[in-house]
Each structure stands twice: as structure tokens, then as C-alpha cells.
Structure 1
């Protein structure tokens, strides 16, 4: 035992879970640190009680806390940072308590039929075929002769649930709602269906139930097919739409013999909703330019024609039926959706029937796009709307109250009615939106101190009254155009006011989180300096601290809590606003560390300090830019390729340097490739599988010639089984995609093999030897088998190149240690993960360790964006999971796609674990630097978050912050998983136990 530990007077405990750290109780719990010690786990120490008491208080633990406490504190802090963005930017906009508003004049229609062609792009419907014939002849004839048309602009995220909520309820659903439920209403909101007398709906079980369960009373009826019907591998997904059309016709035929149903169908304020999912399913499976997708549009066109003919016959051509056809979202060329590409946000809108305007001929139209000319519709007036505007349009046509939470503006151009009706409808729309504003304002006013409350001045109480009085007067004087103009102004102001009060606390909460961010990063830096470097004097560590700062921070915390209490703030506000108190208290306790560090840095040459600082800033900015431009990763990898030359390391390791440079260049190609999923290429997946098998054969031959030959047949069996899994996965990928291409569905054998491979991939590496290269290679083989099953193109080669670079990175770090004059205890070829590293082997940090940590963060980001498979929501390709399932299951598919993203993370994390142990660093010391780098990136993105500009810009800025925060939390978890995969070994019961070193 080192002398320092013996002097502590406490017993040290050693954990042997692989490469574990020795633990000193005096250092961690009794506040008697040892110079040069590291953070370690412990138990059975009298100081434990004092630590628990300290942790129980709302004040931050001291720098000398243990590893479990520090990890727990770090995870909690980062979860708060992550959750805060949803409270600040994604809190629910819904308010309750408004009075329903309804147009007082009789409506033009008794019933409304809503067709939603899920996943239908505007251009796919409106464009002409190569022979100048329309893709949907009936609907083309409608917009040319009977109705009005335009483009409905959707918002991000372009997914089915938010799209339908915007269409039917008139508001844009927030992200928190999606997190709370997929098929049901997570929050109470009003809709056109709820306000109707009766609503009958047919279609997907993923969409219809949420509007039925959100309705008051029992007047929204649903008819759904089974979830198993939504099969991407089915012979013809258009059957989903055929099912809807057939059941609607059967329903109306049966009503003739059911007097109750017949009477209900003939009442006023009736809605019929046909959700047509086939186009979306075919788009995912075959792409929007496929024959299947276009044929599905033709079938929908025919189905709509049949339904309209049947309804007109059923109702005796009474002219009281209004029809609307639109889509919830579009689709990219590669068959996905979710982001803000025009192909996803531009959806068709065609309306006809009772109360809808006839086609309006024009001589010219001004639009930024060139679609009118492409679609040969230049002479027919195009009337674009926001997706939420469709809800008030439907409500106006059948005379039901506007949905209470609607933020849509009634598109008057679609109405074929009197100017009086239009003015009254717009006035109703304005009062309905103003009601939300008034409720939101009263809520905020009630929870804010009167002397701190700042009202929305453009719409004060007196201004509201003036607007309403003036608009009503205009209507009475039959100045309908003036009334409409005034009402539109009132709606815009009310929407601005809603946004103002919705974001009222945003600056206050954002500053609290920013202050916590800076404090936490400062605190981690102090931990690094105090426990892993020699930059401060040991004598200063034991300085007795004053109780003054403690009382000051306690008083500040009580003031903040009292301030939040009297304002009836949500409990989350207490977390965000009180978090800076314990964090900065911990920082203030270590002022002497800051003072001593400043003195040491002042003694260094200014050029060295400034140069080092600039390199750090440049490196972090490079990482930040990679979130916006994937090609930035290519630049970084090319710089990495020249690193050995710059540092003169190539002189002592020419062969390793050459391999490093080549692999860096190879990996640099991937960020320049198209986003995964856009161009499937199964032959490349097969090439990746065969290449893996070839490398496996050479590697096994190399291992057998090494200093540590296998001591049993079980070791070879594990590798042979993994190679067999690679071969089987390669076959399954080829077989599955050929079967789906021939519309024969997913073979049961392939599905069983895929799930078995996935289940065994995490356990097989634990059966292999714990020698460094053998264990890392075993991890690669197991994960590669699963990754092949989830691949559709060139990305299958990515783990191979990445893993090769990681293995060379480990070797390069060994060369770097020798280059800087540090001795090594063992060769990499005989290094065993399973042997615990003695505490006396650990060294202090030096500047080159910052470079190692930066390499790790850069490789993690490269693993994240290298193939572009999560560069945006819409780049996910459902075809990636077809070896496992083809039936639509959002959570299962999402989990498999997440696994595909995680696999490169695991490879990088395991390599980083090897770098830590082979360079004689405790796992915590190097990871703390990683934490600082990632937190600085997260803070950077926090300041880049914005709530202005296009919805794509807003969504992108928030998603970047969420991604980098998730990465930070994920890297903490990956660190533990990497230790488990590299150090643990499962011993089979019949196996003779022995050490291999």
C-alpha cells in the first residue's frame, strides 16, 4: 500500500470487476485527500455518514466525492439540462376555459367528407405523367371544373400524428404531447370531430382512436383495420385504402336497413373521415417515384370517385355535402418524412361541394416556386393555406363551433357564400383566437407579481374592446371587406400575444440554465485540476473552509424559493432556478484552487497559453460545425491523418503511421457520401459481410501466432460462431430484400435468424478472451453481424473502417507515450483487460491527454454523423429494419434504428476504454476532460437555440441541443457499458478455468 494511503488511517477496498480502481476511504469520505490519488469507490468508513448527510442537503458534494456519487450527480444535472429545453421551448401551448364560438348564420353544408391521403406529396398528385395525362384524373377534373385547390403547408415534425392534429384540431402539437402518447390524446384538446353532431371514421388504428377518445360524449365512431395490416412487405399496401372504401360503401348500404343509423346519417353537422394509409406505406416501402406509389394514387382517385358517387346517390343529390381532400405530410424522394424538406411540407388541398368556390381563372400568379408551370395549372387560381387553417374551414362549412384551441385563420377564398357570411365567420374566428389569448394572459397575470408583470401592449383590454366594437360596427354597416381586414389583424395580434405569454418565462429560465451550465463546467475543471494534476499545492487542499459562503448561498436559495412560491410556479421552475445555487457553492468552496491555478498559468509563456487556448476553441468549433455540415468531419479526419507528421511521431513508427493515415483518409470519405437510405445498395452490404469474413480469417491466423495462443477449443468456437453469424447475416440481408422486391413478404426463417443474432450479439463477446485485441475483435464481430442486418447500403462498411482506425488509435497512443518519454508496463499484444490496474500505475494528466479526449469526442460525433443516418429525422430508412419486421410498429422500429446508431458508439467507447488503461490513466480522469468538451459544445448549442425564423430553423436549433445533450448523457452510460464488454468474461460450466497471461 502506498504510504499516502497508509497515513490516511482507513481501510482500502479493491473491486475486481475487470479493470477496477483501488478505493481509499480516507480520500473519498473523510476529506483527507492523498496527493496524486484518483476517485475510487469505497464502503465501511466512518466518513460515509458525513457524505450522506452532505448529499441529503440541497448543496453540492465536495470535490472529493466518490465515483458513484459523482456519476449520479452528473447524470442528474445533465438530465435537468436536457429536460429544461422542453419546458422552455416545448411546453404545451394549450389553454382551457374558453367559450365556444360559432358563426350565427346557417352553414352551406349539412355534412363534410374528409379524405386524408397519408404521405401524399403535392407534386405527386398535381403533376402530369410523361404522356401529359393526370396521375389522378377524377381529382384533376374536380379542381379544373368543380372546386378550389392549393397547397397546404405543414410544420415540423412532418409526422402523421401532428399532421392530423393540425388538420382536425387546428393547432400544432408540441413535442411533449408526442412523448406522452402515440395513439391516444396525451392532453385534452378540442377538434372538429368533437364539435360535430356525429363523426364516422375509417382507417388506421394509429390515428383514429386519439380523436375518438378525446371527444366529449359518444358521437365519434371509428372503424379500424388491424395493426398487422400495416405491413411494408405486403404484396400491395393499396389494399389498406381499398379496405376503407369497401367498408364505407358497406356501412352506407347497411344503414338502409337500420333506421337509427339512417336518421343519424341524415342529420346536420355530420363528418365522415376516410384515413388512407396505403400511399404512405407504399412510399416507405418503394419510394414516391415507384410504380407502386403512383398506382396507389390512381386507386385512391378511383376510390374517391366511387365514394362521392355513392354519397350523392344516398343523399339524393341534395347539394349539401362538402368534400375536402388533403394529406397530413409529404415524403422525401428516399421514402421518409419528419423534417422540413419541401417534399415533406408541401401537401395537396382540393375542396369541392356545398359552400366551396368554383375554379377561378387568372391570367398570372406570383409564387416563388415553379410548380404552376410544371403542373400546367397557371390559369387556375392557387390558394395556399397553413395546415391549421383547414380546421376552421371545415367548421365554417358545416356550422359547428371552431375548435377551441385552433390557431388557424379561415381561408375565405375557398368559401362560396355571401360577403355577410364570410365577415361573420371571420369575426367568429377572431373572437375564438382572442379567447385563447385572454385565458393565457389571465393565467400568466395570476402567477406573476403585479409589479413584475409586463402585459402585451398591442392588445390591451381597451384595444380588444375597440377591435371587436369596430368589427361589429363594420358588419352592421355592411362594410364586409373592412370587417374581414380588421378581424385578420386582430387574429394576427392575438396569435402574437399567445406566443408572447407562452414564452414569457423563457429568458428567466434560460439564464438559470446557462448559469448552471457555466458553473457545472467550472466545477468539473476544478475536479480535474485538484485530483488529477500537479498544478496546485498539496498544502492548500487542507485549508479549513469558512461557513460564510454556505450561509450566503442558503440565503440566496431561500430567496429564490420564496419568489417562486408566491408566484405559484411549477415544480420544475424550482429545479431550474435553484440548481445554480449548489453548483456555484461547490465552485466557491474551491476558490483557492482557482487562485493557485491562475498563479501557475501566469508563470507560463503567454504564447504557449494563448496558442493552446486557440487550438482548443478551434477544435470545439469544428465539432459544432459538424452538426451543420457533415463535410466538416472530413476536414477533421484529414487533419488527424497529418497528426503523426506534425508531431514527428512518424520517425519512430513509420508502419503504424502509414496505416493510421490511410484509415483516416478512408473514413473521411463517408461524411461526403449521400445520406443513408436515399440509394439502397444491397450488394455493398454483401461486400461488407464478405470483407469482414476475410479479415476474420487473417486475424485468427495472426492471433494463433501471437505470444498468447488459445488455451482451449472454446475460444476458437466463439470466433467461429461469430464468423458463422456474419455469413448468415449477409445471406439474410440478401434473401430478405430479394423476397420483398418480389413482394413475397419477410421469410419467417430470416426473421428468426435476425432476432437470434441480435439477442446473442451482446453475450458472445463476454465468452471470448480478455486480451486486448482479441476482445475488441470479438466485440466487432458480434456487433457487425447485427449491423449488417440493419444496413441497406454503403454504411455497412462504416464500422469496419471505424474499428480499424480505433485499433490503430490504440497503438498510436502507445507510440505517443513513448514519444513523450513515458514508460509502459506491458506490450499491447499481451495486455489483459481482466487484470485490475494497480493504483500506483496511475499517472497524472498532462496536456496530451486533452488531445486524447478530443479525439474520443470527435470519433463519437463521427460515429453519429459519419453515414448521415441521423443527421435529420427524415433520413431514417424503414428498410433498415426489414430483416426484423415489416409490420408498422413505431416503437420497435425506432428501437432498432437507435440500436443501429449505438453500435458505432460502442466500438469507439471500447477503444477509448483501451486507450485509458494502456496509457495508465484512471477511467475517470480522461473521461472528465471529455465531459468538459461535450458540455462546452452543449452550452454553445444552448445559446444557438432560437424561436424565430422558419420552423425548420427553429426545429434544427433545438434538435442540435437535444442531440449533443443526449450524447453527453449517453457517453456516461457508454463508459460503463464499455468497461463491462471489455473486462467481464463468462466462464462456461464445463470449461477449465485458467488465466491466459
Structure 2
């Protein structure tokens, strides 16, 4: 097979494997067609006011300051004298959109929906706002529109400020909350003279929603421990107090207003959110007013933690809920139907109402969730063959009727506690059944994907063997003896494919199922078609008595497991790098190339320090970034002097490029320091800094193409250009990481040259004389050796080290926004995410370019060697596919899926980055003078 065609097919196959995880694990849990359920009793409140303090941590609100006083005296007074309080436990990802969906719609949004959009509904869902008579909302343009779009009717009114106001770097972000409070005051003032608005506001079943983004913005910009974050809490407390007083005056203290204040997510100490740290998942919940239970003083509590003592709230009953439970609570308070897709359980402890109301509301809650279960079961039953359908046995039709019958009977007999117990049992069974049917096809699809994976790995291995072993001749000789098999094989696989397609067709499966289930058929056909190669390989392995090969296989397997474990424990990378550092001392390298071996050992140990450091983002230190910039400038200056003395004929050609890059490093260093100083003084991002930062980013991939293609000079040019951008995206010690990684890559190139010389292949050219442009095809030089598997493994290890050297899964999901402040400070999730992705890819590019250099300097085949890399990556991907969880904590589930997605993304990116590395290393743009032809 043509290698270009093979790589195109490989890219498509891996893309299918990558997308499969979204159909298996990231499908929307929503169903439609349920009947709205409402409690048939008068509600305690006519209106509800919801305050969401975006990014507010529970401890930041409840704890006392250094003077022993509360930052939120009004809310603390409510806790002690007027209402109920507790912790709202959020789920991963702890982001604004899924947090608000859980609060207002009552369900936990799937990750695919989050990825489809932040300002619009990617999927249609019901919400408290949609069920209300009228809803007025004020706040961020990133949150409010998603609850208005798709709602039935035009009863949801939104008032947003412009996106430009969400600036992390300008003035105090508390002005965002002040804007909301001022708008609400003006709104009610205007209502006094607007009869139509006045009558609407006096209707029942209305909601007022105040989204307060200032705390989140100040937390990102200044950290939750900052004065700005804590002062913002005080301003929110003052604002809430003013709005409560305003509403009491407007409604003449009719006692029919219920108030809820909570948060969508918390925030880490280093100013980020998105993962599952307690500081991100523990948010406050305080409620008071109509229908809410008054404070209850107790001597002991169920919660055995230190928080209560620190907050000095141990004598007031704490009532914890899951975040989705708040939606049914709010719905029951104003008497609207529970949101159709809600999976929240009504927290009865918050209600100050009769036992009849509580029992009836709980029954409504149970029927509402049961409706979703019945729709989900019906949908799955309709598309599954009767003899293959396995119902959820714990909640059969008879079981449903039995529980509902008993509950209604107990309700008539006024056995309200029995009703509540039965309804809770029914809810838990229905939720378990929803999960059962939601994951019904998971095993079937998983088997199909794994079969495709194993088939692809086998096929890629056969391609390597056929291209670079003596088995090729045996295969040609054996083809005549296998003609019958070759005629029978395609017919058999065609029949298998038709049967699979027919099976999927009669079950009305989605079109993506056809791809996942039919893809293994041609892959395994291609594998079994090479039966003679497999047979000869097995015979060769059985007759080969090589102790060295067995040891090599064991070490290779151990290396794969270390790579897998490094995704869970970063220090495993340190263990691997220490092993790399010791490797020359167990080979002939130490004897024949002491200086090269010492360089390799030193930089391996130096790089091994980084995985032991805290993940980037926790404690920004711009001094380290400035120091890294100055260090790289001095090294580039000394390199410039050295090249001038030793290679004068080349320095003339590269003089403008080298000087330009040195100036770029100095400018980047200055901009980082200048920008962060300006932000600390609350003067915002200087426009000139922003323009220069984007300019440096734009030219970072072009400038290296202007210089020489000599290996060392081109690699050094790539480092300087990429480092000028990396410095702008750095906040601490990670600014040193690419440079140390690059030094190790140079040592690796020299080590591989020495190893190749030991194997009898001469490789005497130095890195300062060999050109990238002289790449030759390995098939004309030599075949692959066992040592080439080690080179490929080294490459994969360095790619993983480049990814996790300064961070982990959580730090990637919840990056520090201050990393992009040199480019923008106005909130823009996709632009910020793109910049952070480029920051992650820069170390990748350095490793990939070094890999290209190894292929040139050691006369290896870039195509064949890359095949081995893909096989290693796919073996890791199979590991993570089996390690994906659909149980346990949401953090465990999300992390396990993230591992698989990262490995699959890495595999696809490596194919694309290989092309980028070849472009960066081999191409040259001529702008001045005459370019001399490059010959070895």
C-alpha cells in the first residue's frame, strides 16, 4: 500500500475512534415528550428572587475575616434569624454554563452540549424560567440568552451588559455587579409609572434572576485570597440587602417573596475552575422568605468537618443539597411545574409548609422523574429487537404501579412520612433506570471500537514488517499456494458486513453506529489477507532464541505502563527520566562517548525536576518568567558569538534572523513584566503591548523559515521564535521548561548518532554542518532495527513529558486566565482556549522537530519510524479505552474520559504536527541575497 494513502486512511480511522467516545460517553441524557407535573396545592410564594454570585466559594462567604467579622453581614444575619443555609455540591465540569443549567433546569448538562456553545442552547431543554409566568433577568451576555432562546412564548426578558465589560484586567470587576443592582433599581422605579409592567410584576409565578459575575472575574484576575475578591463579596452583600429592601417596599411586605442566593461553581486558590477540587465544587446556598424554613439551633450536627467551627456556624442547622436539587425547590415555592428534564430531588428540609404540601410535592417530583424513565425505556424498546431487549428489572411496570398506588393510598390516609419514603425510593430507582437506558448500547459500541483498535494496530505492525523485513520475499512465494483462501476471504467479510448492516438497520440505529460497527470489517480483512506474513512471523519468533529480545519486550511493556501511569501520577515521568539518565551507563555509550552521555544524563535529570513541581497556575511568579527570558537571551547571544567565530560563512546569511529573534525575546520579556505590572495597578492591558504580542505570535512560525536549514541553526531558530510566544503565555517556572526540553532534545540527537555508529553505520557529520533538506529515504539505506522501537518509544515519552511536564488534567481543564493577559483580558472562552492550546503545543513542536532531526542525522525513515510511533500511541489508547469509567465520582469519570481523548488527540495531532515540523525544518523563504544550494 502507498504510504501516503496509508497515512490518510490512518488519520480517518483515528478520527472515527476519537469521535466514538462522544457517542459512547458524551450523549445527551435529555428526552422529550413528558407531561408537565405540578403540585395541585397553593404555593407558599407568589414570586422568587434568585441571586447567583458567579465563582463564589462557600468558605469565602461563610468564614469570618481576620477581625472576626463576616464579609457578608446581611446574609449571615439571614442564616441566624430568617432562613436556611447549607452547601450546594456541584458536579464536574465546574463551569458557568453547566452550573447554571443545573441550578435553573435541574439536570447536569452533558459535555458535548458544553462544547457546542456557551451563549445558545445546543439542545432544547425545559427550565424554571420557561415554566414561570414571567421572568426578568439581569447580568452577563454569556449566561442569560441561553435560557431565553428556545423558550415557549416571549415571557423571558433579559437585560445584559456588553461583553467588553467582562475585562479581567481593567478596573475593579465589582462594577459588573453594581451595574446589575442599579438596573434592577431603575427597573422597579420605572414600574411604578408603567401600569402594564406594574401589573405583570404583581402576577404570581414570576422569577427575578440576578446574575452577578464580578466575584468570578475578580477571582480570575486577582485570586480568591485577594482584597478585590473579598471586597466584591461585601459589595454583593450590600447589593442583596438593598434589593431585598426595595422589593419589600414595592410589594408592601406581603410576605409572598422567596429569596435564594447561591453560586454556579467555586474557584481554586490560584483563580481557576473547571475540575473537581473541593474549593470548586462546594458552593453556598442561603434561602429565606415565603415557604422557607426558619433557622434551627442545634448542639450537634450530622456534618463532621472543621468548616462549621471555622465559620462559627456549628449551632445553626446546615442543610446540604446537590446543585440540581435547587431547581425543584424553586419550582415548588412558586407553584410552577418542575422542569421536565430535572433530575433534582426536592430538599424538603428547606420548606416551611404543611406535611401535606411536602408529601404532595414529593409525589409530583417522583412522577416527573418517572415520566423521563418511561419515555427513555419506550424509546430504547422501540429500536431494539424484542429478543435482545433487556428491561431494567428493578423498576418494572408492576413495580411502578405498586409504589404509586401505595403512595396515593398513604396520602389519603395522611401517612405523609410513608409517602415521602416511597417517593424517594421511586426517584432513586427511576434515576438508576435512566442511567441504565442511557448507557444501554455502551458495551456493544465499546466492543466494536476495541475490535477496530486491535485490528488497526495489527495492520500497522504488518505494514512495518512487510516494508522492512525479509518476510516480503516469503509472502510473494506463498501467494500461489493461497489463491483459494484469497478468493474465500473477501466473500466471507462481505457477508459479515452485510449481516452487521442489516442488524443495525432493523434496530433503527444512528448512522454513526454503522461506522463504528462496520469499520473493523475492512481492517480485519486487510490483516487476515496477510496471513502468510503472520504465519512466517510466528514461526520466526518460535525458532528465534534471543534472550535479548525477551528482555527488550519486558522493558518495552514496562515503559508503556509507565507512560499510562504518568497520566495519573506525574512523578512517573520523573521515574522514567531518571531511568533515561542511567541508560548510557548500562551500554557502550559511556565508554565511547562520555561527554555526550554526561550531557544526556544532566538534562534528563534537570527535566525530571519539572513533574515534581506544583502544576502551573497556582502561584504566578513573573520574576521567573523575566529570568527565563533573560537567560535565553544571554544563551542566544553566546551562541551568536560562537557561530560568528566558527562558521562565518553561515552567520552572514542568518545575521538578520538571529538578531530579530534575540530582540523578540527581549521584547517578550519586557511585555510580560509591563503587562502584569499594569494589571496589578488596575490600569488594564496597554494597547501597544497587546498589538506587539499578537504580532510576535503571528511571526513566530514564519521567522525560522528565513534562516539556514542547518540542523543546529534551524532548531535554535525554532526555539527562539517559539519561546518569544511561550514567554508571553507564561506565569511562572514553566517559562524554563521548553528550553530545558530543547537542550535534552539536542543531547538526544547526539546520543542517537553515537548509537548508530556503534551499530556499524557511519554518522560523522556534526549538527552544525548537516542540513534538514538532505533527508533521504531509509529504504535505500537500511532496514529498521530493534533499536528503532526504542527511538520511537523515546519520542512518545518526550511527547507525554511535554504535555504533563508542567501540568495535569485538572490544570488543563481549568487553566489560569492570567496566562493570556498579554493578548486579551476581555472574557472570550474560545480565543483564550485557542491561545492555551498553542501554549500546550509549543513543547510538542520542539520534540517533533527534534524527531525530524534524528531521522535526518541518523538516516532513519521518517515514514516507517512514525508507523512505530502510531502503534505505541494506539496501544496506550487501548489502555485508556478500557480505563474509561461510567461510575464513581464525576471527577473520576471526567478524568478517565479526558485521558482517552488526550491520547487520541495526541495521535491525530502527531500526524498533523509531523507536517508542521517538516515545514519548519526543511522549508526556507528567500527575502534577501542569493541562497546557496545546500549539499552534504
| Deviates further, 930-939 or 598-607 | 598-607
Superposition map of 1:380-391 within 5 A: 380-391=316-327
| Deviates further, 702-711 or 965-974 | 702-711
Deviation digits for residues 136-182 of structure 1 (CA, Å, limit 9, x no counterpart) = 10000001100000100000000000000000000000011112211
Which residue is equivalent to 1:21?
none
Secondary structure in structure 2 of the residue aligned to 1:215: coil
| Deviates further, 488-497 or 372-381 | 372-381
- Note if contact 2:779-2:861 (Cα within 8 Å) is conserved in structure 1: no
1:983 aligns with 2:922: yes
Which residue is equivalent to 2:727?
788
Distance 2:469 2:516 in 1: 32
Distance 2:527 2:785 in 1: 23
Secondary structure in structure 2 of the residue aligned to 1:519: helix
Which residue is equivalent to 1:591?
531
- Cα distance change, pair 91–867 in 1 and its aligned pair in 2 (3 A): same
Which residue is equivalent to 1:83?
19
Which residue is equivalent to 1:993?
931
- For residue 828 of structure 1, report the CA deviation from its aligned partner: 3.1
Secondary structure in structure 1 of the residue aligned to 2:283: strand
Unaligned runs of 5+ in 1: 1-64
- For residue 608 of structure 1, report the CA deviation from its aligned partner: 3.2
Superposition map of 1:199-218 within 5 A: 199-218=135-154
486, 494, 514: which one pairs with 1:574?
514
Secondary structure in structure 2 of the residue aligned to 1:830: coil
Secondary structure in structure 1 of the residue aligned to 2:584: helix
1:274 aligns with 2:214: no
- For residue 825 of structure 1, report the CA deviation from its aligned partner: 7.0
Distance 2:439 2:192 in 1: 54
Which residue is equivalent to 2:72?
136
Deviation digits for residues 481-526 of structure 1 (CA, Å, limit 9, x no counterpart) = 0001100100000000100000011110111111111111111111
Distance 1:706 1:769 in 2: 15
Which residue is equivalent to 1:289?
225
1:770 aligns with 2:709: yes
- Cα distance change, pair 632–855 in 1 and its aligned pair in 2 (3 A): same
Which residue is equivalent to 1:664?
604
Deviation digits for residues 94-116 of structure 1 (CA, Å, limit 9, x no counterpart) = 00000000000010000000000
Deviation digits for residues 933-977 of structure 1 (CA, Å, limit 9, x no counterpart) = 110000000000111111111111111111111111111111111
1:902 aligns with 2:875: no
Distance 1:160 1:533 in 2: 56
Distance 1:160 1:717 in 2: 48
Which residue is equivalent to 1:750?
689
Unaligned runs of 5+ in 2: none
Distance 1:729 1:227 in 2: 28
377, 381, 391: which one pairs with 2:313?
377
Which residue is equivalent to 1:413?
349
1:534 aligns with 2:470: yes
Which residue is equivalent to 1:339?
275
- Cα distance change, pair 467–743 in 1 and its aligned pair in 2 (3 A): same
630, 634, 639: which one pairs with 2:574?
634
250, 254, 257: which one pairs with 2:193?
257
Secondary structure in structure 2 of the residue aligned to 1:289: coil
Superposition map of 1:757-836 within 5 A: 757-824=696-763, 826-836=765-775
1:740 aligns with 2:676: no
Secondary structure in structure 1 of the residue aligned to 2:388: coil
Distance 1:243 1:534 in 2: 76
Distance 2:477 2:836 in 1: 48
Distance 2:475 2:399 in 1: 69
Which residue is equivalent to 2:631?
691
- Note if contact 1:112-1:272 (Cα within 8 Å) is conserved in structure 2: yes
| Deviates further, 271-280 or 703-712 | 703-712
Deviation digits for residues 170-200 of structure 1 (CA, Å, limit 9, x no counterpart) = 0000011112211100010000000000000
- For residue 602 of structure 1, report the CA deviation from its aligned partner: 1.2
Distance 2:810 2:845 in 1: 19
Secondary structure in structure 2 of the residue aligned to 1:710: helix
User: Over aligned residues, Cα RMSD in angstroms?
Assistant: 1.3
- For residue 991 of structure 1, report the CA deviation from its aligned partner: 2.3
Which residue is equivalent to 1:547?
487
- Note if contact 1:535-1:600 (Cα within 8 Å) is conserved in structure 2: no
Distance 1:708 1:620 in 2: 46
- For residue 895 of structure 1, report the CA deviation from its aligned partner: 0.5
Distance 1:445 1:368 in 2: 45
Superposition map of 1:831-842 within 5 A: 831-837=770-776, 841-842=780-781
1:913 aligns with 2:852: yes
Secondary structure in structure 1 of the residue aligned to 2:619: coil
1:99 aligns with 2:35: yes
Secondary structure in structure 2 of the residue aligned to 1:829: coil
316, 328, 334: which one pairs with 1:398?
334
User: Aligned pair count?
Assistant: 931
- Cα distance change, pair 186–838 in 1 and its aligned pair in 2 (3 A): closer
Secondary structure in structure 1 of the residue aligned to 2:41: coil
Which residue is equivalent to 1:12?
none
Superposition map of 1:168-247 within 5 A: 168-247=104-183
- Cα distance change, pair 875–639 in 1 and its aligned pair in 2 (3 A): farther
- For residue 898 of structure 1, report the CA deviation from its aligned partner: 0.5
- For residue 838 of structure 1, report the CA deviation from its aligned partner: 5.4
329, 336, 342: which one pairs with 2:265?
329
Distance 1:897 1:604 in 2: 50
Distance 2:780 2:241 in 1: 80
- For residue 711 of structure 1, report the CA deviation from its aligned partner: 6.7
- Cα distance change, pair 952–302 in 1 and its aligned pair in 2 (3 A): same
- For residue 657 of structure 1, report the CA deviation from its aligned partner: 1.1
906, 924, 931: which one pairs with 1:967?
906
